[in-house]
Amino acid sequence: MTERHLIFHNDIQQIPQLAAFVETVAEEANLDQSLAMGLNLALEEAVTNVIMYAYPPGSDGLVDIEAVIHADALEFILSDSGTPFDPTAAAEADITLDVQDRPIGGLGIFLVRNIMDEVTYRRENGKNILTMRKHLKAK
């Protein structure tokens, strides 16, 4: 098992650091480029939601991202001390509707659910903890 950690402030300008972090984790887990890109997209959506909505506008908060490489899975654990929010309880986005008929929001969570194999949420010690797991096929 290998672990990597990234902590940054709730500043959208720090998102590029995320891609480098995911790329490092993907290389260590020997993932192919298309899977790495999908994981980066899922993580970017989840982290952007934290940055945009977890903390009151103008306040400073942290986003903690832990990556754990297991023999059979890759886990990303996001935690923040922001407003309690369970993305797993959000309604499924209705992608059959025309773009103009869809409510704003929800597509990020839809992407995360479709890219990852398991997505779980818990609130613990004043923190939102979102765990996203991707099963890895044996090579």
CATH numbers and ranges of domains, the chain:
2-135 (3.30.565.10)
- The dihedral over CA atoms of 61, 73, 69, 13, expressed in degrees to the nearest 10, equals -30
Q: Are 68 and 3 in contact (CB under 8 A)?
A: yes
124 CB burial (10 A radius; 0-12, 13-18, 19+): exposed
90 CB burial (10 A radius; 0-12, 13-18, 19+): middle
Torsion angles phi and psi, residue 128, rounded to 5: -85, 130
The residue-averaged pLDDT of 45-50 equals 90
pLDDT, averaged across the chain: 87
Q: Tens digit of pLDDT for each residue in 26-40?
A: 999 999 999 999 999
Of 22, 18, 80, 88, nearest to 51 by C-alpha is 80
With a cut of 90, say whether residue 103 has pLDDT above it. Answer: no
Structure-token match 């986005």, residue found: 93
pTM: 0.86
With a cut of 90, say whether residue 21 has pLDDT above it. Answer: yes
Q: Which residues pair with 75 in a beta bridge?
A: 68, 133
Q: Which of 78-82, 83-87, 101-105 has the lowest mean pLDDT?
A: 101-105
With a cut of 50, say whether residue 134 has pLDDT above it. Answer: yes
| pLDDT number for residue 62 | 95
Report the share of the chain in percent with pLDDT over 70.
85
The whole-angstrom separation of Cα 105 and Cα 124 is: 25
The whole-angstrom separation of Cα 49 and Cα 113 is: 14
Tokens of residue 21, six digits: 């972090």
With a cut of 50, say whether residue 118 has pLDDT above it. Answer: yes
